[in-house]
Amino acid sequence: MDAISVIRTKRDRGELSPEQIDWVIDAYTRGEVADEQMSALAMAILLNGMNRTEIARWTAAMIASGERMDFSSLSRPTADKHSTGGVGDKITLPLAPLVAACGAAVPQLSGRGLGHTGGTLDKLESIPGWRALLSNEEMLRVLDTTGAVICAAGDGLAPADKKLYALRDVTGTVEAIPLIASSIMSKKIAEGTGSLVLDVKVGSGAFMKNVRDARELASTMVGLGTDHGVRTVALLTDMSTPLGLTAGNALEVRESVEVLAGGGPADVVELTLALAREMLDAAGVGDADPAKALADGSAMDVWRRMVAAQGGDPDAALPVAREQHVVTATASGVLTRLDAYRVGVAAWRLGAGRARKEDPVQAGAGVELHAKPGDEVTAGAPLMTLHTDTPEKFDYALRSLEGSFDIAAPGTAHEATPVVLERIA
């Protein structure tokens, strides 16, 4: 085998053989295939695609590059969730303890935010003392004692994907659906969960801007999970408007706790329950009622135990940004549009996100919304509040919010977009 022949096969719209795929993934992981060669192959895949057989083998090769976790010692079935990322997407925080309270175990390996999309680990690290980095033994212990764990993936899990992901990020090949699907699914399958629910976001604040592309990605990932023996289902969910009323780390933790306490924004509660039902059904615990577990406090109990088991103090005050700036409504009427992408960029510019993986984030920074599409607003009344420790960032964030919302005449009818758009299984 040699890298050039593999590149030429895909460049010329051929099908990569299993032997070619196994070799190139292994050789790239070991450093035998150079970055420039793998970037050429990634670009050929972006332009010419892969069939289901190729994607399945590519995913298997990335799984084989590292370790596989095993949760067979647990007394309950496992279910996991993955979101493709959005603005205000704090769903993992209430979802994991909720599903655990209903009888499934949730081994949730999560990531950090990059750009305008937030990261679950960054949000949880705003809780004093909470640790994202756990050994495999610690992860299994927390999972066994609390029913849920949210932590960072170890270096031994699909190392080929970690290396390839960084390369795609700087070579204009992030958008390749076969590589997106195999990247997500190699980690989730190697994680060892028995079932998986995918939350594929669609809209301005999502990676997939239209339903067609989101459907293709979701179908590809569901197929990969099925091919590898993991019961997998996907929901396409709306990300044209931010989820909930907050975008930012500590702000989103606060809102998640409100959901666990039986309150919180309606769209966050709706999506949390929809995903919980899918996870419980996939894990074979479909007779449990997640709405009851929210109402009776059992999900909150799991949350508190889970946070404490990872060193966090569930009773500690969350960080608050030192400075605030209020954005007011420009007219009276009905808010008909609030662009998720622009709100996400504003939160990122305020310090809630990062441009590079090594950048720090501000725990208290972000955007707090006071209205959502369909709400009546009054000219001069607060529409959103910007939070940051560095007030010199306000102007930069405000520029991203220009044209981010529309206000129609009072009484204008507004048809809300459903939170869940489609189900793919």
pLDDT tens-digit readout, 157-215: 899 998 998 898 788 898 899 999 999 999 999 999 999 999 999 999 998 999 999 99
* pLDDT over 80 (residue 358): no
Q: What's the confidence (pLDDT) of residue 113?
A: 81
CA nearest neighbour of 182 among 275, 51, 13: 51
CA distances (Å), origin 3, targets 31, 144, 276, 364 = 12, 44, 44, 47
* pLDDT over 90 (residue 153): no
Q: What is the mean pLDDT of the segment spanning 105-112?
A: 92
* pLDDT over 90 (residue 49): yes
* pLDDT over 80 (residue 36): yes
What contacts 401, CB < 8 A, 6 or more positions away? 327, 342, 343, 346, 384
> What predicted TM-score, i.e. pTM, was given to this entire model?
0.93
Question: Cα separation of 265 and 87, whole Å?
Answer: 14
Question: Cα separation of 97 and 341, whole Å?
Answer: 28
- Per the DSSP assignment, residues forming a β-bridge with 150 are 108
CA distances (Å), origin 307, targets 32, 146, 320 = 42, 10, 19
The CB density around residue 49, as the number of other CB atoms within 10 Å, is 14
Binning pLDDT at 50, 70 and 90, where does residue 144 land? very high
The CB density around residue 193, as the number of other CB atoms within 10 Å, is 30
Residues taking part in catalysis = 82, 161, 168, 183, 187
Domains of the chain and any CATH numbers = 3-49 (1.20.970.10), 80-309 (3.40.1030.10), 323-408 (3.90.1170.30)
CA distances (Å), origin 300, targets 99, 244, 292 = 11, 19, 12
Asked whether the beta carbons of 388 and 362 are under 8 A apart, the reply is yes
- For 72, counting Cβ atoms within 10 Å of its Cβ (0-12 exposed, 13-18 middle, 19+ buried), the class is exposed
Q: What's the confidence (pLDDT) of residue 19?
A: 98
CA distances (Å), origin 29, targets 25, 131, 165, 181, 290 = 6, 29, 12, 19, 42
Q: Write the pLDDT tens digit of every residue in 58-71.
A: 999 999 999 999 99
- Give percent of the chain with pLDDT exceeding 70: 100
- For 323, counting Cβ atoms within 10 Å of its Cβ (0-12 exposed, 13-18 middle, 19+ buried), the class is middle
Q: What is the mean pLDDT of the segment spanning 309-327?
A: 98
Asked whether the beta carbons of 305 and 144 are under 8 A apart, the reply is no
**Hey, is 109 helix, strand or coil?**
strand
- Nearest-10 Cα torsion for 214, 79, 108, 176: -20
Q: Write the pLDDT tens digit of every residue in 369-402.
A: 999 999 999 999 999 999 999 999 999 999 999 9
The residue that leads in pLDDT, 117 or 246, is 246
Complete DSSP assignment for 160-182: HHHHHHHHHHTTT-TT-HHHHHH
Q: What's the confidence (pLDDT) of residue 342?
A: 98
CA nearest neighbour of 93 among 104, 106, 84: 106
Asked whether the beta carbons of 305 and 142 are under 8 A apart, the reply is no
Binning pLDDT at 50, 70 and 90, where does residue 28 land? very high
- For 93, counting Cβ atoms within 10 Å of its Cβ (0-12 exposed, 13-18 middle, 19+ buried), the class is buried
Greatest CA separation found in the chain? 68
- For 358, counting Cβ atoms within 10 Å of its Cβ (0-12 exposed, 13-18 middle, 19+ buried), the class is exposed
Q: What is the mean pLDDT of the segment spanning 123-127?
A: 97
Structure tokens, 385: 């509040």
Q: What's the confidence (pLDDT) of residue 295?
A: 95
Question: Cα separation of 154 and 133, whole Å?
Answer: 8
Q: What's the confidence (pLDDT) of residue 218?
A: 97
Least confident piece of the model among 4-8, 135-139, 257-261: 135-139
Round the average pLDDT of the chain to a whole number and report it. 95
Structure tokens, 415: 């048809």
Q: What's the confidence (pLDDT) of residue 362?
A: 96
State how beta strands 231-238 and 333-338 pair: unpaired
Q: What is the DSSP letter of 394?
A: H
Specify the amino acid at residue 94. P
